Chains A and B, each alone.
Chain A
Amino acid sequence: MANNSERNPGILLFGAAMLVMTGLLGTVILPYFDETTVTPTETAQLKNYPTDSAEARGRHVYIREGCIWCHTQQVRPVRADSKLGPVSQPGDYYYDAPIIMMTQRTGPDLTWVGSRYSPEWQYAHLINPQKIAGPGSIMPKYDYLSEQDLQDLVAYLMSLKPAPKQSQ
């Protein structure tokens, strides 16, 4: 039943590691060599926030408070995303660190939310979503944030817009 190589843990581990590394190379390393993934778009330039700007600080708040767990930042070329605005391109995310397109859409997609509402609306909505959006909203109130954090967060949300000259 068992041949000799089956008794050797070294061969086993080496083989298994090689197979996994092949997958790693194919799906993680190979994309570095695709032009579309490593060329920033104009939208990406808009989101290249200077260090310690209001938008950069706001993005930090956005991650820290976990907005990312309910709001995606990715528009797909499918019917379920048809009203969300221009389709996301690989290069749009060039300067994001970390990338936060995320996986759950418990709340609406926020890829281009900056072109939808005013800063005043955003500010009031963060403090009391049920009052502004409607009593059915299950978004938590962010009234515990400092004034500075709220302002930064609004600045970040308002910066999420497509570049004006984008060809689509």
Chain B
Amino acid sequence: MVMGLLVALKSVNPEFLTFSPFLTEYLTYGRIRPVHTNTALIGWLTSAFFGMLFYGVPALCKTELYSEKLAMFTAVLFTVNYFIGAGSILAGYQTGVEYAELPLIFDVVIVIVVALLFFNLMKTVANRKEKSLYVSLWYWMGSVMFLAIVYIVGNIPAEWIGSGIIQAGYYYFYLHNIIGLWFTVVGVGTIYYLLPKLTHRPIYSHKLSLVGFWFIAAFYSWNGPHHLINGPIPLWLMKAGIIPSILLLIPVWSVLANIVGTMKGVWFKVSQNVPLKFLITGALFYGLSCIQGPFQSLMGPHAVLHFSYWTVGHAHMPLFGGFSLVMFSGIYYVLPRLVYRHIYSDTLMNWHYWLSVLGFLVFGFAMWTAGIIQGFEWMDGKQLGASFLKVMESLHIFLISRAVGGSMMFLGQIIFAWNVYRTVKAGQQIAADDPIIVSR
């Protein structure tokens, strides 16, 4: 259990989110880009959430993890597999399917790891001492199963699927649901786990959290086609993508309402507790991106914003602003309980917070503004050749802003890594009678 999280921490990649079009002399942009997305998705967030599961599931079941050896094995296999896979993209073996660029062999290993992990966690749940399943367990068990389904669908080789546009159905199902059915579900489960722990208050409404779970399961899976609105697909398929996208306002509202309800009367704790600050900000960004999402999925806004830099901003909001912040909070919460040391420095935690959040805001607003300008310039007919290039040149300032924002985020992560390292090495030891030990 301890090692599972540590290996997850090691995968916090140092090149986290910093590349920009200006750094491409070193490695060509077209190969760096998929390595960046894969490292953020698979290398960082997935590993980190696996670590959270290995800690949280046994804790909620009041029992030991079914097999620590198996967990250790999956963690090492997953990490090694990812590093070799990322190397193979740089060497020129990307598949050309967005977010699924790893060659097939690495995908097979990932599916095996997920299956073993699922088996391990289910066995733990079956051996549980606490009979009631807390809502986080719902989300977490569901998420691992969804991950397996989504990952398999997204990585079926194109040759087996047939007609090109049908492939798009598979791949956009994956592209959207690796976020919607894996990160969202595991992330919301983590929010529901951490929030009562950090505030020492019960969740506002159990029923509301279950409503959220079933709505996510029912509607997220339909979202793939909204990436192809106005595109070469039949009209009925667009509608099948747009309507559930808008209905997703329901689960995100249920999560936010639950958080606000739980926080009622204890909002002041946000200013005193840095992990809680991370968690609440993460939940806020998650909420914002889920309001942005349905808006973009309408045909009108989509016609302007699709293909533009807006999408880059939108993609970073749930993944960095939302679930990475949630996971930072999770790591700051779990780490002291694993190594029996307090977090090395609260000041550094605060620096990590402000650099990440402000950096992301600079990054996000640069991308959204640039995207809107791009969209309307294209509508003015500047779609090709010299006029296209003029639009690009006018956006230069936004690309610089993005690089500045990205650098702030990057600096934040270096501080984070240093703080984690120092905590493990030299954090203040926790006394045996400290409430932190009892409260796990």
Q: Which residues of A have CB within 8 Å of B34?
A: 66, 69
Query: What's the Cα separation between A15 and B217 when bound, in Å?
Result: 9
**B163: interface (CB < 8 Å):** yes
The minimal Cβ–Cβ distance linking B91 to chain A, given in whole angstroms, is 10
Query: What's the Cα separation between A133 and B385 when bound, in Å?
Result: 8
Q: Which residues of B have CB within 8 Å of A76?
A: 230-231, 303, 306
Given contacts A9-B141, A37-B163, contact A99 B168 (CB under 8 A): yes
Contact string, B245-263, partner A, CB cutoff 8 A, digits 1/0? 0000000000000000000
Q: Contact at A27–B29, with CB atoms within 8 Å?
A: no
Q: Which residue of A lies closest to B118 (CB)?
A: A13
Cβ < 8 Å to B, chain A residues 24-64: 24, 26-28, 30-32, 34, 36-38, 40, 44, 63-64
**A116: interface (CB < 8 Å):** yes
- Interface range, B side: 35 or more
Q: Contact at B163–A12, with CB atoms within 8 Å?
A: no
Among A12, A44, A64, which residue has its beta carbon within 8 angstroms of that of B141? A12
Q: Which residues of B have CB within 8 Å of A78?
A: 230, 303
Q: Contact at B308–A32, with CB atoms within 8 Å?
A: no
Q: Which residues of B have CB within 8 Å of A23?
A: 173, 218-223, 244
Cβ < 8 Å to A, chain B residues 89-127: 92-98, 122, 125-126
Interface SS, B side: helix
**A158: interface (CB < 8 Å):** no
Query: What's the Cα separation between A34 and B161 when bound, in Å?
Result: 15
Q: Contact at B227–A103, with CB atoms within 8 Å?
A: yes
Q: Contact at A90–B379, with CB atoms within 8 Å?
A: no
Among B122, B145, B236, which residue has its beta carbon within 8 angstroms of that of A16? B145
Residues of A participating in the B interface, judged by any CB pair closer than 8 Å = 1-2, 6-7, 9, 12-13, 15-17, 19-24, 26-28, 30-32, 34, 36-38, 40, 44, 63-70, 72, 74, 76-84, 87-109, 116, 133-134, 136-138, 140, 144
Residues of B participating in the A interface, judged by any CB pair closer than 8 Å = 21, 24, 28-31, 33-34, 92-98, 122, 125-126, 131-133, 137-138, 141-142, 145-146, 149, 153, 158-159, 162-171, 173, 181, 206, 210, 213-214, 217-225, 227, 230-234, 236-237, 240-241, 244, 303-304, 306-309, 311-312, 374-375, 378-379, 381, 383-386, 388-390, 392-393, 396, 399
Q: A12-B138, A31-B165, A76-B231 are in contact. List 4 more A-B contacts (CB 8 A).
A: A38-B162, A80-B383, A93-B167, A101-B168
